[in-house]
Amino acid sequence: MYFACLVVICVNIYDEVVNAIIIIISMKGGISFYLTIFTVLLYQTGSVDSVVVPATNCYVLDNSSHIYDFSNWIGHEMEHDVAGTDCAVRFCKDVETRAQSGYVGFGKFEGYNYFVAGSEHYDFVQEYYNGDLQHCEKTHDKRGRTAQLNIICGDCPNAQCKKEFGCVCNATFESDCRIIVELAIQCEKPGSRVFEGFTVGFHPRSWEIVYNGMTQYGYEKAYKDYSFDTDQSRVSLYMTAIASLSQLVQKPTVKVSPKTGLEITLSGLGATGSPPTTLSPTLLNIDWRCETASDNPYEVQLTIPVEGYDPIQFSLTKMCESSQNEAGTSTKGWALFGIFSCIFFVMSTLFCCGGFIYKTQVQKQHGIDALPGMTILSACLETVSGGGGSGGYMRADDFNGAYASQASWTRESVKERGSSRTSERRYGT
């Protein structure tokens, strides 16, 4: 009986296992699909986007350093009737009043520092300057009429805003030359958290690459116009940060695309994660060597993690028109040249000393004639100076021959003169 029960239990377990296997096989396609989705989500979660400066100056950082980009809202118009005068606001453009007498400008939105985080129940504050100057020539800043926009993310206090974008809640003339406008807009979801005050540049006091924690245009991705030449083997970057937050900066990482063909080495205090400050910038050296020539540029992406903030990320572009040898090859060549030079110098010295001793002791020569090679040198000098012709030097035994020739020539000349006289005398008789 117990044995029969055991058999029944085993059969049931076997059926359950088989059914489970059949279900798994039938769901194979679904499992693959879900695994693919999971992988994509995991990859997207692990990817890091750089905080790039917006294309326009219509952006702001809130009190928690999150960025709000209103570039798509530039020029959006909102109006408000104030005591028979329409106050018109063109977002990130200008502020003006419209009446029967005409339009009066109360400033334009121009600068990069006129859109800041607000306080109390205002989220942001905008300043507009350089409005109409008539009857406002005596303002302290000589900027004519001005306007201030106090921006609320959401609705007006009295819930009067019914428009999708936003509306003007209230407008107050502080003076004939200045107007205060309360504006309610539907703020978008905040973006990345910017590490304010952080800069990266090619000089200790410059910020061409990263300014105020945001990557500048030209370094957010690879650009051939912003590339470095093949021969430039090192690039030095200087990083600065606010001293109170400099400890948050961590060790940078580098990623190359394509992965092979360019060798990258980081050095300097910046490569170790040393905290930079505004008074003492941290140096980050990038040594790169082209292993494979390519017509397309290499993208070198550097990521600097910052604790509690979105990482600083920027790209440098490297051109590799030709491949380069390993570092130190030229040094080895010079070392071999130095070794051979030393060997040649030592052998030449031994040859000269040995030849001099041989000539002085064996051949009994003295002075400059005892130096090795002087015979060959003298022959060369004699050949160059024309020693084979009449202008050359004569040996001692050649002088006697010259004198003898000269004497015989003289005697022959005398004899010839005597014979000529005799003949003359004979013809005379």
**How far apart (Å, rounded) are the C-alpha atoms in residues 199 and 312?**
10
pLDDT at 53: 93
Among 287, 299, 300, 290, which Cα is nearest to 321's?
A: 290
pLDDT at 332: 52
Sheet containing strand 262-267, edge to edge, reads 214-215, 210-211, 199-201, 234-240, 282-290, 262-267
Asked if 266 and 254 touch (Cβ cutoff 8 Å), the reply is yes
- Cα 425 from chain centroid (whole Å): 112
pLDDT above 80: residue 66 = yes
pLDDT above 50: residue 225 = yes
Token pair listed for 192: 């990345």
Three-state secondary structure call for residue 190: coil
**CATH number assigned to the domain covering 199-320:** 2.60.40
Query: 10-15 contacts: CB < 8 A, separation 24 or more?
Result: none
pLDDT digits (tens, 9 = 90+) for 154-175: 888 887 787 778 889 999 998 8
Across the range 323-334, mean pLDDT stands at 60
pLDDT digits (tens, 9 = 90+) for 117-163: 998 889 999 999 989 988 888 766 677 899 999 999 988 888 778 77
Torsion angle defined by CA atoms of residues 243, 247, 248 and 251, in that order, rounded to the nearest 10 degrees:
120
Sign (positive or negative) of CA dihedral 49, 53, 58, 63: positive
At 280, phi and psi to the nearest 5?
Answer: -130, 90
Task: Spell 164-191 as b/e; 16+ CB within 10 A means b.
Answer: eebbbbbbeeeeebbbebbbbbebeeeb
pLDDT digits (tens, 9 = 90+) for 330-368: 445 566 778 888 898 888 888 778 777 777 777 767 767
Token pair listed for 69: 């980009």
Across the range 68-75, mean pLDDT stands at 92
**How far apart (Å, rounded) are the C-alpha atoms in residues 20 and 412?**
142
Give CATH superfamily name and number for 59-185.
Mannose-6-phosphate receptor binding domain (2.70.130.10)
Per-domain boundaries in the chain: 59-185, 199-320, 336-380
pLDDT above 80: residue 400 = no
